Amino acid sequence: MPSNHLQWILNHGKIRLTAAPILYHCPATWNWHVDSLPEHALLLVFDGRGKLTLDGQAAELRKGICYFLKPGIEVQAQQTPSYPLFIFLVRFDILDTEENCPQTSEGDAPYQSVFIRNVRNLEALAELVATRKSDDPLLADAITMIIRLLVESATRHSGAFDSQAYEALHAIENDLARKWTVQDLAAEAGMPTKRFAQSFRQMMNEAPIHYVIRRRMEEAKRQIQQSSLPIEEIAINLGYSDLKRFHQLFQRRLGYSPASLRENRDF
């Protein structure tokens, strides 16, 4: 979703929600079918996989992909049962300064999409939005804030999505403790090693092994904060038998030690 399309929303008055925002862990049988979408919609995938058809064009639902759908589009969506979807869906009209819905030109694409490398901040805001009552006067402002963050992400933090290289992300998440090599990850993606490494860096803005380390440290932080497991056990479970190395990486990546985080879980 090029940022100028999102910016167009922000520049044309205000948003009027047509339904309560949905933050949804989809059941195995979930599907969505609309013959002609009556309003704009923002569909952001926080986790899982699925298939999407937009005006007959095949697309994908995957973690980090956001779609901006325009009125009149036909939508068919279905999740992959083995990878349950966690989605955020907002449906709204865009009002100009005179409370009218401005018309988009016939040449406009019926939808736009962008791949966001890191959706964690957006997920936290979506959770906050989803807990507000539908008549909350601040709800539309909160949705506008999400769109502003998407504009920023599309401008600074979006990646060049590669469906093959993306397969490596799932492999990493399914086995964080594995001693991954670039060759292993390229095999998971079904790509030559050199091309995989290049595509992965373009998509995630970091080298594959650096991504593995970052995800391990993020998971270590989560477990230290949310569980009572000993720090040494967490390290071993994430593939670090060398505890000194684990502590060094944690300190370098996060700026504080595992022990200090355990002592003050509000970090």
Residue 15 is predicted with a pLDDT of 80
Place of tokens 């920023």: 152
Which residue segment(s) compose the domain that 108 sits in? 3-159
Which of 130, 159, 188 is a domain's end point? 159
* CATH number of the domain bearing residue 206: 1.10.10.60
DSSP 12: S
Say whether both 148 and 228 belong to one domain: no
* CA gap 193, 182 in Å, rounded: 7
Compute the distance between CA of residue 205 and CA of residue 211 in angstroms, rounded to an integer.
9
Same domain, 222 and 192: yes
**Residues 100 and 168 placed together within one structural domain of the fold:** no
The CATH number linked to 151 is 2.60.120.280
pLDDT along the chain (267 residues), means of 10: 56 78 90 93 92 92 90 94 91 70 57 82 85 77 81 65 87 93 96 95 91 94 92 96 95 93 72
What is the phi/psi pair of residue 24, to 5°? -140, 125
In angstroms, the CA 178 to CA 173 distance is 10
108, 124, 159 — which closes off a domain?
159
Same domain? For 11 and 23 the reply is yes
Structural domain count, the chain: 2
Q: Residue 256 corresponds to which amino acid?
A: Y
Question: CA Rg, the chain, in Å?
Answer: 21
What is the spatial order of strands in the sheet that 31-34 belongs to?
31-34, 75-79, 49-54, 57-62
Regarding whether 113 and 150 lie in a shared domain, the answer is: yes
Q: Do both 48 and 144 map to the same domain? A: yes
The end-to-end CA distance of the chain, in Å, is: 34
Q: Which of 113, 142, 159 is the last residue of a domain?
A: 159
Q: Are residues 39 and 53 in the same domain?
A: yes
The pLDDT value recorded for residue 146 is: 83
- The verdict on 168 and 204 lying in the same domain is yes
